[in-house]
Chains A and B, each alone.
Chain A
Amino acid sequence: MVSYRLAAGGLVNRGNALSFTFDGKIYRGLQGDTLASALLANGELLVGRSFKYHRPRGIVTAGSAEPNALVTIGAGARSEPNTRATVAELYDGLAAASQNRWPSLAFDIGAVNSLLSPFLSAGFYYKTFMWPAAFWEKVYEPLIRRAAGLGRLVTEADPDRYEKAWAHCDLLVIGSGPAGLMAALAAGRAGARVILVDEGFRLGGSLLSDSAVVGGLKAADFAGQVLAELATLSNVTLMARTTVFGWYDDMVFGAVEKVQKHVAHPTPDLPVERLWRIVAKRAILAAGAEERPLVFGGNDRPGVMTAGAARTYLNRYGVAVGQRVAIFTNGGSGYGLARDLTDSGVEVTALIDARRESADIAPESVRLIRGGAVTSTRGTRALKSIIADRSGFEEEIACDALAMSGGWSPVVHLMCQRGARPVWSEERQAFLAPDVGAAFVAAGSAAGLDRLSACLRDGADKATVLARDLGFAAYETEIPDVAGDYDPAFAPLWYVPGSKGKAFVDFQNDVTVADLGLSQREAYSHVEMTKRYTTGGMATDQGKLGNVNTIGIVAGMRGVSPAEIGTTTFRPFYTPVSFGAMAGTARGEHSRPVRRSPLHGWAARNGAVFVEAGLWYRSSWFPREGEKTWREAVDREVRTVRASAGLCDVSTLGKIEIFGLGAAEFLNRVYSNAFLKLPVGKARYGLMLREDGIVYDDGTTSRLSENHYVLTTTTAYATDVMAHLEFAAQALWPHLDVRFASSSDQWAQMSIAGPKARIILQRVVEDDLSDAAFPFLSAREVMLKGGLAARLFRISFSGELAYELAVPAGYGEAVADAIMEAGYEEGICAYGVEALNVLRIEKGHVTHNELDGRTTADDVGLGRMMAMQKPDFIGKHLSTRFGLTAADRLQMVGLKPVEADAEIKAGAHLLKENAKPSMVNDQGFVSSACYSPTLNSFIALAMLKSGRERYGEKIVVWDALRGSEVLAEVCPPVFVDPDNKNLHV
């Protein structure tokens, strides 16, 4: 095998050979290589297949705009599809595989598409595959999907770590080429906090590829000198391997840093990638310019690449891209390359300049063809020759590489992400960065400058202005002399007339000049429509390479300036960002925080099964030995509570302390029912509405002292209600003297319910708990035996004699243990939220199953809680709208199956007997259902049209989704103790 690695030169470490594989074959590269340069050094031209036609493709660029050389790197859970070989840093043991080919890269069956291409023109799929209709899902689409995509997604979890961080600076410099380095230097010397980022693994940008002499040093050495000084400045942070992918509001830049993507075995001590949010006071975009391919027949043959890429492989990696290199150019770039190649001893077979004249001088040994053009190329899986045309005379020129240069497009992507559009420059024949204000400016070739010396100066000057603007004393930076650079100026050439064969503008998506023409003929003429119809610019490079050519060609077809065509919209991400980096640490079990009740440990010790409830884990039921199903445990818990007593953890309820002279008035306004006259030491059930008259949340509020209340919310609405109350107090009634503090996490709260609750509780409480001394709805501080102050509320969700006891969170488990011990003789049990739910359904108490954001107080039988005599409360004024008071609204009822063992499930709908299922006949739905061990039957709460008028009616509980129909009787929604006798014992 021929080695294309030159004997000397380049920034690769020849003392450190690295072994890697591509499609299973073992190769050698050098430290400092990219995968692409290493493949080229080994003479591997064919690296990928295009998307649509599966055409053989080679490396086109030496950077992040690469459309062709996409490979999968790594194996198993670490395999990474669609990785650009041109930016993949080589490491020992790297394993890469080609994509989108079958059975192999060299022999790909999909390439037959290329033969069918006359039938596969832009948008062909919109015009066929319509008959018969059912064939789309069965035949056509599976075929299309088989061809879809490039690399393969792994289905295993990622073994590596990622993290996120914020950074702050005075000046962010994006790009470490000549302009970026000088900018960082000027601002850094002035004392500004500078962050210099570059996507490359070695800082220096284009200086690393340049053969010019800067300040008497080789360009790369000059970069090294500047970087050495920057490294001594504590106010300057250098970040290689870091891509700024997005510019967001308020000068926040998104960036991703590859921390360990270049090592075979990442250490778990570090993330593999880090997502940065960089907050910059000022920023300079010094991202350079992208070289445009030329558009001619067969411009996609492996071996054809941009001149700049060929130059980079030569000067930076010491790799000749061919043994006989032809160059096709419309500007100075081709000449610069020709000189570098000949200086390195690589044969340049021809330098074809599309311009008839120019001041550029070709090396003497190189055959220069002025006013010529390449109209087609030959070779199957690698370039063999080109056909050059000069004034109608065709000539075949043998070569194994063709370097092309169609001019330069400044990389203005980031500056156009927030709505501004790039501006066409007739003079530069390029889209230049828009003016986005003084805080973010482009410098160097990103600003449209071409000569190296101008870029160096521009970077320094612009940074100086920005640093001074921020108050730093910045001095003139001395700009070194430059020798041996070239003038990259060019004349426009969008498309080579007389091209034979397909001329590609978008390599990856196989969009050709003919496709562009078709889109124009078919009236998809706006540039966005052209893009969408042809898919040009929609590949993984997002049109970095092809879009400007597309615009130029369409402009030519329409006889207008590219300015009139305009660009498509620039959006994040400048280059694709891994989902892993975006997710950071929030993944899997750690995707969201976990909240545990202060009684979690107690519940666990009592054998609780926990269930996720929002962020909480709540104790769901407490199975005992011998209980085979969850139902057995729940039934026992319910029976125990009804017969004796149980203890349930209710700490997750929201608890809000309310203070102030205006607290009573405030509560009176946020609750629909009256609160002004709630006595000290009493609790009251309260209903909170939204301003639209619909029920928002419910809970009890207790007046602990004259101006101190504690309000409880449901678990699910704790945070929302807190914000709602804060809004009311701050934005609606700021003159009310009221303050809040959430104490949800400060209290362990337990419900002790059942006929034996008092007896048991009295054993741990000093205060008298007799019905006379502590009647229903009492709420006050009590002293526990042993001297712990606690809050005790005589309230009941279960319908039994019940108390809620709140103790400081840290005492929760000890107190719960003490109560369980105190109630041992009575057979007290721990019960979970499942039993709690059964108890409340039996009692007809509502939860958010019923209060689903569409129900009024009256709907759930709480119409009496609308204190309409109050002048104002949230939700009062819109609650009387016709639609909210209509007679056929859904009202809460109870349901009992006619056959007691028939099961009713929540989510079933209701139908009149013998009625056909239809939306019009829909009578309502089952909101909550359970097996009631008290009634030995399934029971349910349901929302039924005009329900309260229909007690006694038989109705079909229709659950077609789960294949059941049950006949049930409509009844009042309170199944147990309708007269509330148990509450007052």
Chain B
Amino acid sequence: MRYSAFEIVKQAFSGNRHWKPAWREPQPKPHYDVIIVGGGGHGLSTAYYLAREFGITNVAVLEKGYLGSGNVGRNTTIIRSNYLLEGNEPFYEFSLKLWEGLEQDFNYNAMVSQRGIVNLFHSDGQRDQYARRGNAMKMHGVDAELLDREGVRKMMPYLNFDHARFPILGGLYQKRAGTARHDAVAWGYARGADSRGVDLIQQCEVTGIRRDETGRVLGVETSKGFIGCNKLALATAGHTSVTGKMAGLDLPIETHVLQAFVSEGLKPVIHNVITYGAGHFYISQSDKGGLVFGADIDYYSSYAQRGNLATVEHTIEEGVSLIPGLSRARVLRAWGGVMDMSMDGSPIIDRTPIDNLYINCGWCYGGFKATPASGFCFAHLIARDEPHYTARLLRLDRFQRGFLVDEGGKGPQPNLH
């Protein structure tokens, strides 16, 4: 069934009774060419591109909860490609390009909204850093603008320009950045993968990885029994260490909780995505009117999808400092997601020392924007056994070899990234 305005009208006249299921709810087959563990954004996009780009459709996505129940359904929905390093910028720009054609491609409106992001800076030194980043973006042919204070004021007159502890001096603006409706991204990929023959198997928890005497992966033990495969791909960010351990992998990852929160619905005031440079938080306003905040991780290791109050308070202190009018609005709901914090703050899309085991992990808290490219590049790797050009530096052995992709320059302490 193809979604369109015409279809909506047609269905409305029959009482919306004949819409087809967005995807099947199949039982697992005994064996697949490729099994993807994790039915979140990256797992589903990997399945979609495997089928769409590489013609591999005998694929199962195994999800222990429901589709999109991981971080794709609990992030702050920001998409952007304003990166500095060669390991990152081309990859995220590839992702943004995929975002730009995504909805037409998978026939699902994920509300990709290129409303622009402004990274505020508050000191000359920070301006220089953003200039360096902006020039790196332009070097790669990506749009970037350096706004001065008045430029920012024009776009965002509601910010605190006159009584701020840290003055707003300007911002790095990427117009093509923006937001997307996170759940719809998962659903669009799921529907697109399903319609191409991929089996999406929910409530199916992987409990073990079965390997032969040579170490090759044979398949996975699951809550629905053993399922065999030729290739196994892990897309379980947040729990990568847990699934990796099933195959004996030691990984450069710590799991941390990241909180986000949203206000009550308000008439739109904030039209762009803003990041605060004198601390760390970002804000945008959703199409329903909620102000969506993201901030730092809670800093301690956690697999619990909930955080503590102090982090929320700290973020709101910064929020009210930047946007004084917030004070009388209310925060509605706070939630947490667990993140693979990698040792250099950048992800890993690579083969593993085990021949037919592939891994996609270490997204820290930047995984959502990467969803299309992550899936595309992972599918490329699985299908061709070689990395996609834009992901060629996001390798597992880079830590050992010293080719780090440390965007923040924070070093091997994961909670600083």
List chain A positions with a Cβ less than 8 A from chain B: 51, 74, 77-82, 118-119, 121, 124-131, 133, 136-137, 141, 144-146, 148-158, 160, 162, 164, 246, 248-249, 252, 254, 275, 277, 417-419, 514, 518, 521-526, 528-529, 532-533, 535, 538-540, 542, 569, 571-573, 576-580, 582-584, 586-592, 594, 611-613, 690-694, 696, 849, 852-854, 878, 881-885, 905-909, 917-919, 921-922, 925-926, 958-962
Contact = CB atoms under 8 A, between A and B. Distances in A.
A149 B267 contact: yes
9 contacts: A81-B264, A127-B8, A248-B308, A419-B304, A539-B265, A579-B331, A592-B278, A883-B398, A961-B145
Contacts of A144: 287
Nearest to B84: A925
Given A592-B278, A854-B404, 11 more contacts: A118-B12, A128-B4, A145-B268, A153-B267, A418-B306, A522-B22, A576-B331, A612-B166, A883-B403, A917-B139, A919-B136
A579 B122 contact: no
B331 A133 contact: no
A388 B286 CA distance: 41
Contact of A153 (B7, B107, B312, B329): B329
B267 A151 contact: yes
Contact of A119 (B9, B89, B129, B136): B9
A273 B133 CA distance: 42
B125 A849 contact: yes
A131 B100 CA distance: 13
B144 A961 contact: yes
B334 A573 contact: yes
Contact of A962 (B131, B165, B269): B131
Given A612-B123, A691-B412, A907-B132, A578 B268 contact: no
A525 B123 CA distance: 50
Contact of A540 (B131, B317, B332): B332
B328 A81 contact: yes
Given A126-B187, A532-B73, A582-B331, A919 B89 contact: yes
A576 B325 contact: no
Interface stretch (B109-117, B212-220, B240-248, B352-360): B109-117
Given A156-B325, A690-B412, A853-B411, A524 B22 contact: yes
Contacts of A926: 132
B320 interface: yes
B351 interface: no
A922 B289 CA distance: 42
A878 B343 CA distance: 14
A961 B324 contact: no
Interface stretch (B13-21, B29-37, B368-376, B378-386): B13-21
A164 B110 CA distance: 40
Given A148-B265, A246-B309, A526-B202, A82 B324 contact: no
B135 interface: yes
A918 B141 contact: yes
Contact of A583 (B21, B268, B319): B319
A130 B269 contact: no
A179 B100 CA distance: 57
B140 interface: yes
Given A82-B265, A419-B306, A529-B68, A573 B331 contact: yes
Most B C-beta atoms less than 10 A away, residue of A77, A130, A693: A130
Given A136-B111, A919-B89, A909 B139 contact: yes
B280 interface: no
Given A136-B112, A691-B412, A882-B402, A907 B128 contact: yes
B410 interface: yes
A95 to B, nearest CB: 14
A112 B110 CA distance: 25
A250 B163 CA distance: 37
B38 to A, nearest CB: 16
Contacts of A539: 265
A417 B306 contact: yes
Interface string B81-101: 000001001100000000011
Contacts of B9: 119
Contact of A882 (B114, B188, B265, B401): B401
A532 B114 CA distance: 22
Nearest to A151: B266
A518 B129 CA distance: 50
Given A529-B66, A583-B317, A149 B401 contact: no
B318 interface: yes
B118 to A, nearest CB: 14
Interface of B: 3-5, 7-9, 12-13, 15-17, 19-25, 65-69, 73, 86, 89-90, 100-101, 103-104, 107-115, 122-125, 127-136, 138-141, 144-146, 157-158, 160, 163-167, 181, 183-184, 187-188, 202, 263-269, 278-279, 285-290, 304-306, 308-309, 312-313, 316-321, 324-335, 398, 400-404, 406, 408-412
Contacts of B164: 588-589, 591
Interface centre among A128, A150, A160, A523 (most CB of B within 10 A): A523
B265 A150 contact: yes
A160 B112 CA distance: 38
**Which interface residue of B135, B136, B401 has the most chain A CB atoms within 10 A?**
B135
From A51, A127, A538, name the one whose CB has the most chain B CB atoms within 10 angstroms: A127
A487 B289 CA distance: 42
Nearest to B326: A579
A114 B355 CA distance: 58
Contacts of A532: 68, 73, 183
Contacts of B181: 126
Contact of A881 (B286, B306, B325, B402): B402
A85 to B, nearest CB: 15
Contacts of B136: 909, 919, 922, 925
A157 B22 contact: no
B103 A579 contact: no
A150 B269 contact: no
Best-surrounded residue of B22, B158, B181, B401 (most CB of chain A within 10 A): B22
Contacts of A417: 306
Contacts of B133: 907
Contacts of B90: 919
Contacts of A521: 17, 19, 21
Contacts of A156: 324-325
A119 B139 contact: no
B327 A157 contact: yes
Given A254-B309, A578-B329, A150 B131 contact: no
B39 to A, nearest CB: 11
A82 B266 CA distance: 8
Contacts of B404: 692, 854, 883
A126 B122 contact: no
B313 A121 contact: no
Contacts of A249: 308
Contacts of A419: 304, 306
Q: Which of B115, B165, B167 has the most CB of A within 10 A?
A: B165
A907 B16 contact: no
Given A153-B325, A579-B320, A853-B411, A922 B139 contact: yes
Closest 3 CB pairs of A and B: A853-B409, A907-B131, A149-B289
Nearest to A878: B402
A871 B336 CA distance: 44
A589 B402 contact: no
A155 B269 contact: yes
A126 B184 contact: yes
A545 to B, nearest CB: 15
A155 B157 contact: yes
Contact of A150 (B111, B165, B264): B264
Given A148-B268, A907-B129, A79 B328 contact: yes
A882 B395 CA distance: 15
B406 A157 contact: no
Contacts of B132: 906-909, 925-926
A630 B127 CA distance: 18
A252 B129 CA distance: 40
